[in-house]
Amino acid sequence: MNERTLQKPHWVDFHCHLDLYRDHVELIAECDQERVATLAVTTTPKAWPRNRELAANATHVRVALGLHPQLVAERASEVGLFEHYLADARYVGEIGLDAGPRFYRSLPDQERVFERILCACAEQGGKILSVHNIRAVGKVLGHIERALPASRGRVVLHWFTGTAAEARRAVALGCYFSINKEMLNSPKHRQLIAELPEDRLLTETDGPFVLIQGKPIRPREVADTVSQLAALRAIPMEGMRRAILDNLRAVVSSNVS
């Protein structure tokens, strides 16, 4: 996904929890073999060093530094450790907000942590973020608007759950959207995805949380998502695949300082 990539990727999985698979090490090798440009997100800063070590020699896997909003209630104190590692992390995720019923009580703490992370990213510049936004799209976009100018970082909204108006607002802020198979199973989301700008689309699996026939989806299976996106938007699959790769290149080479 940057200058280390000697052989060009064929697919893109911009949000996958590789470290939550039993065969974590083998899966990294599989991503290289299948040429899947994979962003391995983490859920806590403590997980980042080991993940980074395991993927150090990978061609197509990059590791993101994360502090998952669903864990903030127990791990808000780790934001200092997050900031300690941030200078060495180009990619950031999974971060964001979750206002679902299980996590709503921690939303004020989530917002404080998210704001702090965005400010740190803006200060350092050049970060690429994968952002969680369940039932909190408006708040997420508000924090991005205040704390992370498009010139200081690039945001990819993971599993976007907002409205058409919120999608337009996100586009205006320079955001991208990573789309997974489960999203395309929802008629509501399919309609929204069909209207998103083609030059802002990426693909993801969110594995191992998305299942195929009862088994955790693997990064290589993102090909089916590309096929569904192509059908939804009435374009050839190869055209869709190339557009997603072009978008990945635009994200990682964007003029952010």
Q: Is residue 2 part of a domain?
A: no
Return the pLDDT at 254. 73
Instruction: Answer yes or no: is pLDDT of 245 > 70.
Output: yes
Q: Is residue 100 part of a domain?
A: yes
Return the pLDDT at 5. 45
pLDDT tens readout for residues 54-77: 999 999 999 999 999 999 999 999
Distance (Å, whole) CA 95 – CA 70: 9
Instruction: Answer yes or no: is pLDDT of 191 > 90.
Output: yes
- As a whole number, mean pLDDT of residues 191-216 equals 97
Q: Is residue 257 part of a domain?
A: no
- As a whole number, mean pLDDT of residues 99-125 equals 98
Q: Is residue 166 part of a domain?
A: yes
| Residue 2 pLDDT level (bands cut at 50, 70, 90) | very low
Q: Is residue 173 part of a domain?
A: yes
Return the pLDDT at 71. 98
Cα distances (angstroms) measured from residue 214 to each of 17, 164, 254:
17, 31, 38
Looking only at the bridges linking them, the beta strands covering 211-212 and 215-216 are: antiparallel
Q: What is the CATH number of the domain that holds 103?
A: 3.20.20.140
Range of the domain at 140: 11-252
Q: Is residue 3 part of a domain?
A: no
For the chain, percent of residues with pLDDT exceeding 70: 96
Return the pLDDT at 50. 97
Q: Classify each residue of 21-45 as buried b or exposed e, where b means 16 or more C-beta atoms within 10 Å of its C-beta.
A: beebeebbebbbebebbbbbbbbbb
* Cβ neighbours around 20 below 10 Å, total: 16
Instruction: Answer yes or no: is pLDDT of 95 > 80.
Output: yes
Q: Is residue 42 part of a domain?
A: yes
pLDDT, mean over the chain: 96
Domain count, the chain: 1
Instruction: Answer yes or no: is pLDDT of 130 > 80.
Output: yes
pLDDT tens readout for residues 136-156: 999 999 999 999 999 999 999
- As a whole number, mean pLDDT of residues 159-170 equals 96
Preceding peptide of 74 cis, ω within 30°: no
- As a whole number, mean pLDDT of residues 163-191 equals 96
- Between residues 5 and 120, the one the model is more confident about: 120
- As a whole number, mean pLDDT of residues 248-257 equals 83
Q: Is residue 6 part of a domain?
A: no
Instruction: Answer yes or no: is pLDDT of 28 > 90.
Output: yes
Return the pLDDT at 161. 86
Instruction: Answer yes or no: is pLDDT of 189 > 90.
Output: yes
Distance (Å, whole) CA 154 – CA 205: 20
